[in-house]
Chains A and B, each alone.
Chain A
């Protein structure tokens, strides 16, 4: 039954009139609807482990420092993440650089393509972020700054699609550079390589020991493809149906999901029980799973 109010039988109108008459109630309403008690979520995976939480480009696209910068990548590890995803490109002199876009001009104060330039030519490039401008970094800069690096995981999104006449030697050079740095820091098992099928096949031919993840969006049965090529796992958007996760676990294929970027999307990703979550909002996901390091200091 609709309650009788001073404004008749329209409680919504009544409340709206009250709010207009007295703004203090608007403040109370905002407080009221902002309140939400956040519970700890189950972080088990289907394969009997715990979900691995890694940041997307470090702290994600919404962080105050640019993605793939040293500040963003290091902070991800400091706050409790198990590792981080990063975009990797290779210079003409075979130095691996953390950068996302095809051209330097889109995010930095430099022009040109990384694979056409040497490290000396781009080492002074800075991100065009108004408040927090940081330098372009090499993978070497990141790895050398981390203590106990064997406790962390890194997922490399290899940008190997640069248009060139013969892409195979370029990709092989890319893979050799990854191999060198992984061997140097003894972290081959901790560095995942994400990529399309043909790139991962090259990786297998080179006998790299890194876990390989088939990066796919539209493939009908990525888990079967991964199994048939003896890959470690698949890298898919978190919105994929739960059946894919169930099927992958039956085949013992690991699932890495990406793209959740807020609390609710993180929660949704967790409910599907993937093996690895690559998130743009690592703080809320870590808090949801009792893994946030409240003692960390963020730049």
Chain B
């Protein structure tokens, strides 16, 4: 409910501001910083823990062609996996193996953005871009057997790079605030692993990816603040 209250409050503030359309104040060289709301995806839709922030910097927001830099870093995943055995105590008593997994890392997404007919006085601006996603993760796995008290620890690192197109919509909300909705489609270029035989760590920022992590989709909902 806290999340809903926050978003509703944000919508209300944006809508009832009497100066909402005063876009003329913006200057052509304005750059913007953005906060990605989708970075908290798991918090909303899953039971996994995460603590990460997605921020983006775009110099020359209203130019036709402009570079964009996005960094999403922090704790991407922390979950526990319990597997129980011998439920009815038929062979020595019930026990379980607990696996704790923690993944930290970052997605660095950079690219060139093409604004279709950018204009200061337009409410919506469509844009297309070519993006490059470099993601790097460190995964720690600990297991503990409640019967034998045996425990194991393991760790691995992986780097993956992907390239692909992106499209989206830029919407002016209020004086310096805007909302940006966009989706990028990435195709894997390469993966580097510290353990060659280990399975691929998924691209965590993606909300959809194929079985072998060769193709992934990253949507972003950015709250943008213009810097003059």
Q: Which residues of A contact B (CB under 8 A)?
A: 6, 18, 22, 24-25, 27-29, 31-40, 49-50, 52, 80, 82, 151, 153, 189, 211, 275, 287-295, 297-299
Contacts and interface: CB of A to CB of B under 8 A. Distances in A.
B154 to A, nearest CB: 12
A28 B11 contact: yes
25 contacts: A28-B10, A28-B179, A31-B7, A31-B221, A32-B3, A32-B7, A33-B4, A34-B44, A35-B3, A38-B46, A40-B47, A49-B88, A50-B96, A82-B84, A151-B85, A211-B88, A275-B87, A288-B47, A291-B82, A292-B79, A293-B83, A294-B77, A294-B101, A295-B199, A297-B211
B196 interface: no
B218 interface: no
B94 interface: yes
B187 interface: no
B83 A291 contact: yes
A28 B77 CA distance: 25
Chain B interface SS verdict (over half): mixed
B4 A35 contact: yes
B47 A36 contact: no
Contact of A290 (B47, B90, B199): B47
Nearest to A188: B90
A49 B94 CA distance: 8
B8 interface: yes
Nearest to A292: B81
Given A28-B11, A290-B79, A153 B199 contact: no
B171 interface: yes
Contacts of A34: 44-45
Nearest to B103: A294
A52 B87 contact: yes
Contact of B44 (A37, A52, A292): A37
A293 B4 contact: no
Nearest to A232: B88
B120 interface: no
Contacts of A37: 3, 43-44
Contacts of B16: 6
Given A32-B3, A294-B101, A287 B11 contact: no
Interface of B: 3-4, 7-8, 10-11, 15-16, 37, 43-48, 77, 79-85, 87-90, 94, 96, 101, 171, 173, 179, 181, 199, 211, 221
Contacts of B48: 294
Contacts of A82: 84, 87
- Secondary structure type dominating chain A contacts: loop
Given A189-B88, A290-B47, 15 more contacts: A24-B179, A28-B7, A29-B11, A49-B89, A49-B94, A50-B84, A287-B46, A288-B47, A290-B79, A290-B80, A291-B81, A294-B48, A294-B81, A294-B101, A298-B211
A24 B171 contact: yes
A88 to B, nearest CB: 21
B37 to A, nearest CB: 8
B31 to A, nearest CB: 22
A295 B48 CA distance: 13
Contacts of B4: 32-33, 35
A25 B79 contact: no
A257 to B, nearest CB: 15
Contact of B47 (A18, A39, A50, A211): A39
A293 B46 contact: no
Contact of B11 (A25, A35, A288, A289): A25
A58 to B, nearest CB: 18
B110 to A, nearest CB: 26
Contacts of B3: 32, 35, 37
B191 to A, nearest CB: 16
A33 B80 CA distance: 27
A28 B3 CA distance: 12
Contacts of B101: 294
A18 B94 contact: no
A287 B82 CA distance: 10
A162 B89 CA distance: 36
Nearest to A286: B81
Contacts of B46: 38, 287
A40 B48 CA distance: 10
Nearest to B94: A49
A290 B80 CA distance: 6
A32 B87 contact: no
B188 to A, nearest CB: 16
A179 B80 CA distance: 37
A208 B18 CA distance: 79
B90 A189 contact: yes
Contact of B82 (A6, A25, A290, A297): A290
B79 A294 contact: yes
Contacts of A287: 46-47
